[in-house]
Amino acid sequence: MELYQIRQLLAVAEHGSLSAAASFLNVSQPALTRSMQKLEREFGVTLFHRTKNSVELNEAGKIAVEQARLVMGAAESMSARMRAYKREQTTISIGSCAPGPMWALTAELVQRLPGKTITSELRSADTLTGGLLSGAYQLIILNQPLNQNEITCRHYVTERLFISLPPAHPLASKEEVWLSELAGQTMLLYADLGVWEQLREEKMRNIHFIVQKDREAFADLVTASALPSFTTNLTRRLAPPPLDRAEIPILNPEASIPFYLCAMERNRRLLESVPVPVFS
């Protein structure tokens, strides 16, 4: 019995006839008929009620189809797992719920693992958890640890929000500010905020934002503009702000978020190899 025969049997069951299944499989009907007859000889039972113009699954055929679905499911699961294993050997895929920790981790792994391809993307917590379990990600960054079997998590970094101001701004001389003090301001904002978006929705409704989606274009705009912008203890280390700007911490408790690095237990060594950032 070959796997292609299992696929063919399922195609016959799904399409209801040998001719329709043959068309779907892009094989000739006589070839498909011979393949099904060979399968019957191997099983030692007939699988179809045959008439002059049609074939129909009999009870043995229905049982065979039921088992065939299990076999194909196992085969597809095996194939997916082996593809994931291959990716793990050459690529480290990172998923994160916030951009700053993702950029920090990516920069760290690029330096530490020059022979690997590092990919990263911003996604929701549910998508990240599912991706970790399926093998789509080797490491994920969440704003709360997971309590699930076969997943291990540790604190990675706490990201703290700052406001970046030109020297002439009225708030530039302050040591700390509350978000409420920014009401009525026009500010530059990077578009992909991840979990930081909740803070904007809840505490920054009275701020007008000019939003830029491209990271490099946003950095250029901050350098060339006199408008305030946000930065964090992570992003200002990765891309130092203009020297003539004041970096003032935000006092709101929500302006500080702890992030956790999570991996499957089989990738614990990779997780433990990532150092805690010095700017945490």
- Residues of the chain within CATH 1.10.10.10 domain(s) are 3-82
- Residues of the chain within CATH 3.40.190.10 domain(s) are 87-146+259-273, 157-257
pLDDT at 56: 84
The per-residue pLDDT for range 127-183, each reduced to its tens digit, is: 999 999 988 899 999 999 998 889 999 999 999 999 999 888 999 999 999 999 999
The per-residue pLDDT for range 41-82, each reduced to its tens digit, is: 999 999 988 877 778 889 999 999 999 999 999 988 888 888
Nearest to 96 by CA among 117, 127, 67: 127
- Give Cα separations from 224 to 96, 147, 262 (angstroms): 30, 45, 38
- Give Cα separations from 160 to 71, 121, 261 (angstroms): 51, 21, 17
Q: Would you mind telling me the total number of residues written for the chain in this entry?
A: 280
**Cα distance between residue 201 and residue 190, in whole Å:** 14
* Fold held by 3-82: Arc Repressor Mutant, subunit A (1.10.10)
What percent of the chain lies above the pLDDT cut of 70? Answer: 97
**Alpha helix (H) residue ranges in the chain:** 3-15, 18-25, 29-43, 59-90, 99-112, 125-134, 197-203, 215-224, 235-238, 268-273
The per-residue pLDDT for range 243-279, each reduced to its tens digit, is: 788 899 999 999 999 999 999 998 899 898 888 776 5
User: Against a cut of 0.85, is the pTM above it?
Assistant: no
Nearest to 61 by CA among 37, 30, 25: 37
Burial (CB count within 10 angstroms: exposed 0-12, middle 13-18, buried 19+), residue 100:
buried
What percent of the chain lies above the pLDDT cut of 90? Answer: 59
pLDDT at 278: 65
The CATH number, out of the four listed (3.30.1330.10, 3.40.50.1580, 3.40.190.10, 3.40.50.920), of the domain defined by the range 87-146+259-273: 3.40.190.10
**Cα distance between residue 137 and residue 119, in whole Å:** 9
CATH superfamily assigned to domain 157-257:
Periplasmic binding protein-like II (3.40.190.10)
Write b or e for each residue in 12-27: b if 16 or more Cβ atoms lie within 10 A of its Cβ, otherwise e. bbeeeebeebbeebee
**Alpha helix (H) residue ranges in 157-234:** 197-203, 215-224
